[in-house]
Amino acid sequence: MTKIDITETTRDDIPGLQAVLEATGLFPPELLPDFLEPVLTGDSPALWRTGWVDGTPAGLVFTEPEPMTDGTWNMRALGVVPGHQGRGLGRALVAAVEDDLASAGQRILIVDTSGTADFAGARAFYAALGYDEEARIRDFWAEGDDKVVFRKALEALPPVHRRRSGGAQGGLARAVRLARLASTQVGGHPDGAQASERCGRVPEVG
pLDDT digits (tens, 9 = 90+) for 54-74: 999 999 999 999 999 999 999
Which residue has better confidence, 109 or 178?
Answer: 109
Residue 132 in domain = no
121-139 average pLDDT score: 96
Assign residue 171 the CATH number of its domain.
Answer: 3.40.630.30
Total of domains in the chain: 1
Range of the domain at 165: 4-107+154-197
Residue 65 in domain = yes
Amino acid code (one letter) for 4: I
| pLDDT tens-digit map of 111-121 | 999 999 999 99
User: Three-state SS across 68-107?
Assistant: CCCCEEEEEEEEECHHHCCCCHHHHHHHHHHHHHHHCCCC
Residue whose C-alpha is closest to residue 72's, from 149, 143, 14: 149
Q: Would the CA dihedral through 73, 197, 129, 167 be positive or negative?
A: negative
Angle at the Cα of 192 from the Cα atoms of 77 and 92, rounded to 5 degrees:
25
Q: What is the pTM of this model?
A: 0.79
